[in-house]
Amino acid sequence: MPKRKSPNAKKLVQSTLQFKSAATVVKCSKCLMTYSTNSPSDLVQHKRYHDLHLNGRKWSAGWGDIVSRVELRMFEKQLDCNGTGETGNRKLSFQLRPQSTYEENEYIVMISPKKPNEVKATLDLMAVVNEELSAPHDENAFWSEFPEPEKPQGKAFVYVKKNRAVGVITIEHIEKTDRGKWMVLDTKSIVPNVIPDVKLGISRIWVSRNHRKHGIATRLLEIARKKSIYGCIVNKWELAWSQPSQSGSILARRYNAVKHQSGKLLLPCYI
């Protein structure tokens, strides 16, 4: 016979202990990604994003045609000549390096639209670049697709270091001369009624975070000037910027700003 409940019996409620977890959304100070430390998929995504943004994309040796090798640092080269170097009164001796005057495993390649693997790898890299710049993701056709006959082709150059693509520049050919403008660097205003005859436009330039401020972007700009148009070296002022970012403006100021007679610095730009 079942026990009858006494009307005065207290209703028992199962209690559960709730542990409030600490705040889970964090912003990585290195790659600046915001993610949740409680979400396994966020953790995986952050790991991938972090590595790509800091160290670049893995790059196969056969991708791209090498257009430039990076010379050994000047100081090391001088020492290589005689194996000694003087610092003040101290005479130091150094081991001779091998004959080559180039950095091993550090070079710039030009991407061929005919080669799907290198195009795909560069498109992967461009996705990272556009994410960081909050720029449109669909502006690659000018370098990645095979050109129509008679139409000038844009170019993509990738900086490879230790089997990683650590920098990239994409360059548009500017056919219509009236696309060129001078921009006042400090105010970002456009100088009216003057149209510089620029030849190339920098669509994107990017260097992975761990490799910045080592001259990589400057080398990419130099190669773009020399190798974008077959047989022609474009002047620095003919290489134009489009809406330079904050760090892009610093680079542009150093690389190809021109001083106007008013004392203001002007940047070649295109629209």
Q: What sign does the dihedral 144-118-225-247 (CA atoms) show?
A: positive
Q: How many residues bind ligand COA (CB under 6 A)?
A: 19
3-state secondary structure of 53: helix
Under 8 Å between Cβ of 157 and 108: yes
Question: Pick from ligand COA, Zn ion, none: which does 31 bind, CB < 5 to 8 A by kind?
Answer: Zn ion
DSSP string, 235-249: PGGGEEESS--HHHH
Given 185, 251, 266, 269, the residue binding ligand COA (CB under 6 A) = 251
Structure tokens at 117: 């693997």
Question: Pick from ligand COA, Zn ion, none: which does 116 bind, CB < 5 to 8 A by kind?
Answer: none
In terms of CB distance, is 115 or 212 closer to ligand COA? 212
Distance between CA atoms of 189 and 51, rounded to whole angstroms? 37
Question: Pick from ligand COA, Zn ion, none: which does 207 bind, CB < 5 to 8 A by kind?
Answer: ligand COA
Among the listed ranges 5-13, 21-29, 84-92, 215-223, the one in contact with ligand COA (CB under 6 A) is 215-223
Given 84, 189, 218, 235, the residue binding ligand COA (CB under 6 A) = 218
Rule CB under 6 A: say whether 191 interacts with ligand COA: no
Rule CB under 6 A: say whether 254 interacts with ligand COA: yes
Q: Report the DSSP pairing between strands 200-207 and 239-241.
A: parallel
Given 212, 234, 264, 265, the residue binding ligand COA (CB under 6 A) = 212
Rule CB under 6 A: say whether 213 interacts with ligand COA: yes
Rule CB under 5 A: say whether 123 interacts with Zn ion: no
Distance between CA atoms of 26 and 29, rounded to whole angstroms? 9
Sequence letter at residue 109:
V
Rule CB under 6 A: say whether 250 interacts with ligand COA: yes
Distance between CA atoms of 24 and 230, rounded to whole angstroms? 53
DSSP H or E stretch at residue 121: helix 116-133
Point out which residues bind ligand COA (CB under 6 A): 132-133, 205-207, 212-218, 244-245, 247-248, 250-251, 254
